[in-house]
Amino acid sequence: MFQDYKIAYMREHVKIKEVRHLSFIRQSVAYMLSMSARTIPHAAMITEFDVTPLIEYTKSAEERMDRSKADDKRAMLLKRAVLKNYSAFFLKALAHSLFLTPTINGFLDYTPWRNGGTMYISEDINISYTVNSKFGVLKPIIRNPHQKAIETVAEEMRTLTRKARRTDANELYRRTAIAYTKTAFRQCSFNFKEVYGGWMLLRSLLFDRSIPAPEFKGVPEDQKLQVSDILGATCTLANNGMVVKGHQTVTVITPPELMMVGLGDIHPAPRIVDKQIVPGYMVTLFSTMDHRAFDGGEGFPVIGHMQRYIEHPEKIYEWKPGDEI
């Protein structure tokens, strides 16, 4: 009953190897991204950056470290790790770029029937980044990385990434849905379009079909992600180049955020310098923005700021709290 007739036909005529019920995290992601694709007009831009200056800067900085007689060995090891892993650089560069393009750092309450819609520009710059594990993708948040030294950002990312890989994503998503439901009751903020989301949570609580993974048994709570670690993002960075050797990725905005950025892998490529073909390194950035909230002319300058930081990486690596952004 209430079955898709195309699915019914396939079940009759195709030999089935395995029946696998969708976990709560998969149901949640499917629901959220389907809603995003239906309701948000995505304005997209694909940009290819020459990251040779970034590569050259980190190599020269590492050589300078080798020649130095630093007493703090732990600080030196951390700095070396930061120079070899560009995730913290791109996340912090994005945060600085959002600070200079505040229009797209926020969230949209699109309610045409009630008040026409409200745009909230956020003072906090909370960037979530994707962590892939065999149990699902989680998006922990680095809060206000534009106010922190890059070593601090890198340490926070390392801590949160470790926690993400010790977290039962299915259970965390369920606790997140409960937190949202509590907010809805507390604020008397009910949206009839979210009826299915409420039913999805209720069904999961009453008829839970998930089997807890043994890997998470006995993991202390302080070593796992909490609801507060994944809620409240104002922008998302998906560094897919860390997972697969792909030059670009299509990003789908997570409502109510206004922008999502996807990074490809850093790869060798020819480039033109003074009309000469020389070897270098390139990376592709794929950005999508909610076209309801602003026009491209307001949002896409963030890409220009990203390019400036890539061309002058010292503005990120050598930035200290109190310096001008």
Predicted pLDDT of residue 134? 75
* Helix or strand holding residue 45 (H, E): strand 42-50
The set of residues, in sequence order, having a beta carbon less than 8 Å from that of 106 and lying 6+ positions away, is 119, 120, 121, 122, 234, 258, 293
Predicted pLDDT of residue 73? 66
Categorise residue 218: left if φ over 0, alpha if ψ from -120 to 50, beta otherwise. left
Q: What letter represents residue 260's amino acid?
A: M
Reduced 3-state DSSP string for 121-158: ECCCCEEEECEEECCEEECCEEECHHHCCHHHHHHHHH
- Tell whether omega for the bond before 256 is within 30 degrees of 0, i.e. cis: yes
Q: What is the pLDDT of residues 41-77, one digit of tens each?
A: 998 888 999 999 999 999 988 877 766 666 666 677 7
Q: Compute the distance between CA of residue 68 and CA of residue 316 in angstroms, rounded to an integer.
A: 21
Which one has a higher pLDDT value, 233 or 10? 233
Phi and psi, residue 235, nearest 5°: -165, 155
Q: What letter represents residue 122's amino acid?
A: S
The set of residues, in sequence order, having a beta carbon less than 8 Å from that of 127 and lying 6+ positions away, is 91, 94, 95, 98, 141, 142, 145, 233, 234, 235, 236, 237
Helices and strands: H and E segment counts in the chain: 11, 11
Q: What is the pLDDT of residues 83-106, one digit of tens each?
A: 888 999 999 999 999 999 998 999
Residue 294 has pLDDT above 90, yes or no: no
Q: Where are the domains of the chain?
A: 19-317
Coil, strand or helix: which one is 105?
coil
**pLDDT bracket for residue 202 (50, 70, 90):** confident
Residue 112 has pLDDT above 90, yes or no: no
Q: Compute the distance between CA of residue 223 and CA of residue 319 in angstroms, rounded to an integer.
A: 30
Asked if 249 and 287 count as a contact pair (C-beta separation under 8 A), the reply is no
**pLDDT bracket for residue 241 (50, 70, 90):** low
Asked if 144 and 118 count as a contact pair (C-beta separation under 8 A), the reply is no
DSSP 8-state assignment for residue 233: -
Predicted pLDDT of residue 297? 80
Predicted pLDDT of residue 260? 94
Q: What letter represents residue 123's amino acid?
A: E
Asked if 164 and 131 count as a contact pair (C-beta separation under 8 A), the reply is yes
Which one has a higher pLDDT value, 26 or 192? 26
**pLDDT bracket for residue 188 (50, 70, 90):** confident
Predicted pLDDT of residue 122? 95
Which residue matches tokens 């709570």?
A: 221
Phi and psi, residue 216, nearest 5°: -95, -5
Predicted pLDDT of residue 310? 95
Predicted pLDDT of residue 77? 72
The count of C-alpha atoms lying within 13 angstroms of the C-alpha of 90, restricted to the half-sphere facing its C-beta, is 27
Asked if 53 and 311 count as a contact pair (C-beta separation under 8 A), the reply is yes
Domain 19-317 has CATH 3.30.559.10: yes
Asked if 298 and 291 count as a contact pair (C-beta separation under 8 A), the reply is no
Buried b (16+ CB within 10 A) or exposed e, 20-46: eeebbbebbbeeeeeebeeebebbeee
Predicted pLDDT of residue 66? 67
Phi and psi, residue 147, nearest 5°: -100, 5
Q: Compute the distance between CA of residue 256 and CA of residue 254 in angstroms, rounded to an integer.
A: 6
